[in-house]
Structure 1
């Protein structure tokens, strides 16, 4: 119940707005960009190797990747770690690889969130991605910020939304193939994606860890938009003016905090994967 209550608190605004036919450019993002529904977020999993006694009559007994285990506990139900890893071993291995490599690299803290600015570089009024939000500085001044700064985005899922005019201005050309070689813990998108990787591992990730990853992604998304070229004052948010020295310092400070939190979560997910492999080897 505690897990469901926490998950419901995270999704309450999104669910209410959806019923009312309204949207929120910041708070809805995690439910629209990542394909993980609120109903799945509220599902608690114990992780691999845990047998839940007297659970045969529970709803979870019919969930995918759960099996009965009366040998270890009466009415026992557990995650089928062996079955999951047999079916999705390549996904698990990729996630291990990208999380481990990302955590092992030093963070970069000088990009200042310019990826959002590069996504509107050279576009006309009203043509930006978030058309309901005006540009805080206007089109010409926004373009000038891009032109007077160095773009050094390392994340393919930010870079792929750059305007054609902004692409050659980036110091790197990230691709899906080079993703494990470029991602680093200072990247806001890589930090949000810790939540994505947790969802892809399904029941191998305990409920608390999944919600901790969601909470980090939610906090990162706020900075992502506060430091963007959009005027988010109408959403009750204060801009981080990365075009100014004080704004750069504030952005980098928050970025460092997110890097620490994301690496802690990466380590926890890697530990759970290692635990799942041991459980699978033991026939669990």
Structure 2
């Protein structure tokens, strides 16, 4: 079913676009400044370096389907992918001036080219939501990524290991490791891969991901931007900001010493640290469940 059309006057959608730009700039501007200065940040660069959505792409505000953008400024979007001029009958149906101009998302072309992404997002979001959340991993995936590695060979070579190499290895060996997320597991060291109780793969991803996993919840941002511009940018940014906060907590529980960066540790090698980790994990899981349902509703609304 094609969504009912509604027109947005230029003053309205331009204000929404400007508010979105300001929201993005809070995160993107410092990253771009660091990149120009050839500097790194172990927490705040992640969403721009690990995920494929770049700051310029994120900055572009999209209304989503069913909204006709009117006014002279809308013409610029005719050069953007998946936009087209609104037909006269569409302008009339949307309550817009029939003399135009008006620009609308080309949903038909989007679905022709991105059907596989839409279908996979629907599957992964639905199946993840249907599983019980697990809260016993304690963030050990980051520790497994540096297990039995020399200090100068670890993933973030410019960071110190909080417990040193020996203490890090001991923490891995003294704990149960049961990561369900392939995109964390694939970065394990060869020595650590066999210690994980599960064998996540890209093929079984849809069968393993569960809503307690920090990385599965961070990936709500990935599924959102992969469906852009067919999702409103406000929803994409809600996912981005959740992922940003999860990343900070994920790295606080990592083996790295980030205190000097303003991120005090969550010492998961201790009972108190484990308890603190699970409390944060449960809170993020509950918050992510709401956002996951919003994403599922948006995806299900696509024809």
Asked if the contact 1:96–1:270 (Cα under 8 Å) also holds between the matched residues in 2, the reply is yes
1:178 aligns with 2:195: no
- The TM-score with structure 1 as length reference comes to 0.95
1:257 aligns with 2:274: no
Write the distance in 2 (CA, Å) between the matches of 1:142 and 1:133.
14
Q: How does 1:1-284 map to 2 (within 5 A)?
A: 1-54=18-71, 57-71=74-88, 72-73=90-91, 74-277=100-303
| SS class of match (2:254) | coil
Write the distance in 2 (CA, Å) between the matches of 1:149 and 1:55.
61
Write the distance in 1 (CA, Å) between the matches of 2:281 and 2:296.
22
Q: Which has the larger radius of gyration?
A: 2
- The TM-score with structure 2 as length reference comes to 0.89
Moved more, 135-144 or 50-59: 50-59
Q: Is there any run of 5+ residues in structure 2 with no aligned partner, and where? A: 1-17, 92-99
The alignment yields a C-alpha RMSD, in angstroms, of: 1.2
| SS class of match (1:52) | strand
Per-residue deviation, residues 136-174 of structure 1 (Å, max 9, x unmatched): 001111111111100000001110111111111111000
Query: Per-residue deviation at 1:70?
Result: 3.4
Moved more, 95-104 or 257-266: 257-266
| SS class of match (2:51) | coil
Moved more, 159-168 or 256-265: 256-265
Asked if the contact 2:75–2:103 (Cα under 8 Å) also holds between the matched residues in 1, the reply is no
Asked if the contact 1:152–1:172 (Cα under 8 Å) also holds between the matched residues in 2, the reply is yes
Query: Per-residue deviation at 1:123?
Result: 1.0
Write the distance in 2 (CA, Å) between the matches of 1:185 and 1:250.
18
Asked if the contact 1:56–1:68 (Cα under 8 Å) also holds between the matched residues in 2, the reply is no
Write the distance in 2 (CA, Å) between the matches of 1:235 and 1:13.
14
Q: Which has the higher contact order (CA 8 A, sep 6+)?
A: 1
Write the distance in 1 (CA, Å) between the matches of 2:204 and 2:72.
44
Query: Per-residue deviation at 1:53?
Result: 2.1
**Match of residue 13 from structure 2:** none
Per-residue deviation, residues 224-256 of structure 1 (Å, max 9, x unmatched): 110000111121110000011111111111111
Query: Per-residue deviation at 1:267?
Result: 1.3
Query: Per-residue deviation at 1:58?
Result: 3.4
Q: Is there any run of 5+ residues in structure 1 with no aligned partner, and where? A: 278-284
Write the distance in 1 (CA, Å) between the matches of 2:103 and 2:207.
39
